Amino acid sequence: MYYSLIVIIVFLGASSIGLYLSYIQKDRELTILKKHISEVELTGENLRYFRHDYVNIMTGMGIYIENNDMEGLKDFYKKVLKESMPIMSMETSISYTRYIKIDALKFLVISKIMEASNLGIEVSLAILEPIENLNINEVDLCRIVGIILDNAIEGAAKSQEKWIKFGIIINERSYSIVTKNSCAKEVPPIYELRRKNFSTKGKHRGLGLGIIDKIVNTKYANITSNIEVKDRTFIYDLNISN
């Protein structure tokens, strides 16, 4: 199972890096892209750890079985199951990205799922039909979704429940990219979050919702966004008209 995952990631990685390199020449998004590339490398490393863990787990179980230690095996199994839940949910989430036919976006989403899972955040996806040809430049799309997911990860990491839901919904004349995450009780009001350069933490990547607004306002009449903060959840809903 992990092998096939690795193959998918490596394949994706190779094609997406090519795409990214071409962007580097025509765009000045070098720093963002560099970050994403280093995330691919991190992804590969994580998968190597998984493989290593897997062998260890099987060996461990083998020892309990050999000693006919049913109680020990039960405990061990429970522990492993608990620890592997975030990894499992990550894997099913990743399988839903197969519907994203825009490689750069798919790759970005996968790397963010990995990043979130590493922080103990449970990520679930809802993408039920193929997503292609969004009416937006790919670099801008990745920048915007990158910011939304970074914010979601930051918000969820600070919360108690630690979850993110990400979905792409196909409407008649538009696509909606919806991200929902658990967040802490105290969230600044939306108008403050939206203020240019606003960031809840000085050290944070510094990407605020204001940047998305700026991209949309200067370049995209066909994009609208809805934001909701309610009951310790944060929703960002990006609508791209065809």
The answer to whether the beta carbons of residues 130 and 166 sit under 8 Å apart is: no
Which residue lies nearer to another protein by CB, 29 or 122?
122
**Residues with Cβ within 8 Å of residue 228, at least 6 apart in sequence:** 234, 235, 237
Residue pointed to by tokens 């658990």:
182
Which residue lies nearer to another protein by CB, 46 or 239?
239
Number of H helices, E strands in the chain: 7, 5
The answer to whether the beta carbons of residues 240 and 224 sit under 8 Å apart is: no
Which residue lies nearer to another protein by CB, 23 or 96?
96
Query: Which candidate, 67, 174, 161, 181, places its Cα nearest to that of 120?
Result: 161
Q: Please provide the size of the chain in residues.
A: 242
Which residue lies nearer to another protein by CB, 15 or 176?
176
Minimum distance, C-beta of residue 125 to another protein, in the bound complex (Å): 5
- Would you report the helix, strand and coil content of the chain in percent, each value rounded to 5? 60, 15, 25
Which residue lies nearer to another protein by CB, 62 or 130?
130
Minimum distance, C-beta of residue 44 to another protein, in the bound complex (Å): 26
Residue 189, exposed/middle/buried by CB under 10 A (0-12, 13-18, 19+)? exposed
Which residue lies nearer to another protein by CB, 44 or 188?
188
The DSSP call for residue 131 is B
Which residue lies nearer to another protein by CB, 70 or 85?
85
Strand-pair category, 163-170 with 122-126: parallel
* Interface ranges with another protein (CB under 8 A): 124-126, 128-129, 163, 165-167, 169-174, 176, 178, 180, 189-191, 194, 217, 221, 224-230, 235, 237, 239, 241
Strand-pair category, 163-170 with 233-241: unpaired
Minimum distance, C-beta of residue 194 to another protein, in the bound complex (Å): 7
